[in-house]
Amino acid sequence: MGEQPGDFDTARGEVFSITVPEDVVSDRVDRYLADAIPRLSRARILDLFEDECITVNGLQWRPSRRVKGGEQIVVSVPPIISKIEPAPMEFRVLYEDAELAVIDKPAGVIVHPGAGTSGPTLVNGLLHRYPELTGVGDPDRPGIVHRLDKDTSGCLVVARTDETRRRLISMFACRRVHKEYYALVKGVPQQDQFTIDKEIGRSIHDRKRMSIRTHFGREAVTHATAVETFGAAASALAVRIETGRTHQIRVHLAYAGLPVLGDNVYGRAAHEMSVAAGAARQMLHAHKISFAHPSLQKELVIVSPVPEDMRGVEARLREKYCFSNDPR
């Protein structure tokens, strides 16, 4: 494809000069460039067209224009400047290589900046440990391919290159990443294993909350298995999700009459039990994540142990509600 770009330096920016081969199969220029420069996603290329950073034979063209052999394409990628400052932060790394990392997100930490957030986020700590994340994806959420709620702990995947980020996002979208959570809830399910298949969207009563009562729901499927029961009062569940809707597990379990302990938004019905058991945050932990490594062609199965605060709540539930330990 003519001159091939080298390693892309997101901090400096880069200029890619490409000569289209004479025998090229005609295609849209945005698709052609996505193949020619794998480190730039098609969405990023479309943004560069919008910002007039791409020329064909020295002229501005629409991304839908078809390329022709012999044409000269110049892509000028401006430097990506992140306003997020690196900052030291303690978190455990469960797995890392040159392309990605899986970290053990602490409870109480927001993953990335957003509306209404202040103070350090997990991204500040990630940039301190992995400076190369600057420019990997959105400047406000570099390297982030999925999220966990502020008070949910556990496995979080981080992409360390733009190409890996693109592949991981595609894998999440195609449901090729498998996630399992551990939850402590009020109540005992009627069956040891059950599935909740209810669409989730913005609540018709409160736009800040998610709900199954919505005008614009999206498919959401949650599978749960009872791991342990605490008398007839509470349960520990292993939860597997097929989809990744905002607050999905919390909404679905509340709908099923099994609100997550410590959840001040969807688990108010469990407030008294949460206080008695010392659940200072929602008792939800991303326990395990598994997926095929995007380039190494090996299956990764990463496990984060259930944290001490949840083990402490379990102990108090056993003490209060169990005549005997009742594992299922």
Domain ranges of the chain: 14-77, 81-174, 175-328
- CA 171, CA 175: separation in Å to the nearest integer? 6
- CA 259, CA 283: separation in Å to the nearest integer? 10
pLDDT tens for 265-323 read 999 999 999 999 999 999 999 999 999 999 998 999 999 999 999 999 999 999 999 85
pLDDT at 1: 39
pLDDT at 120: 84
Pairing of strands 284-292, 153-159: parallel
Whether the CB-CB separation of 2 and 70 falls below 8 Å is answered with no
Beta strands in 70-192 (DSSP E): 72-77, 92-96, 100-105, 153-159, 178-186
Q: Over its length of 328 residues, how does the chain's per-residue pLDDT go in tens digits?
A: 333 333 444 445 688 999 998 888 778 898 889 888 877 777 788 888 888 899 999 988 888 889 989 999 999 988 766 678 889 999 999 999 999 999 999 999 999 876 566 678 999 999 999 999 987 887 778 999 999 999 999 999 999 998 899 899 999 999 999 999 999 999 999 999 999 999 999 898 887 899 999 888 899 999 999 999 999 999 999 999 999 999 999 999 999 999 999 999 999 999 999 999 999 999 999 999 999 999 998 999 999 999 999 999 999 999 999 854 444 3
| Active-site annotation, residues | 149
pLDDT at 323: 57
pTM: 0.75
> Which of 122, 113, 119 has the alpha carbon at shortest distance from 90?
122
Residue recorded with tokens 């030291």: 88
Topology of domain 175-328, CATH: Pseudouridine synthase (3.30.2350)
* 14-77 is classed CATH 3.10.290.10: yes
| Structural element, H or E, at residue 321 | helix 308-321
Choose which CATH entry (3.20.20.70, 3.30.2350.10, 3.30.365.10, 3.40.50.300) describes domain 81-174: 3.30.2350.10
Whether 14-77 and 175-328 share one fold: the answer is no
CA distances 186 to 28, 153, 198, 314, Å, are 55, 19, 20, 12
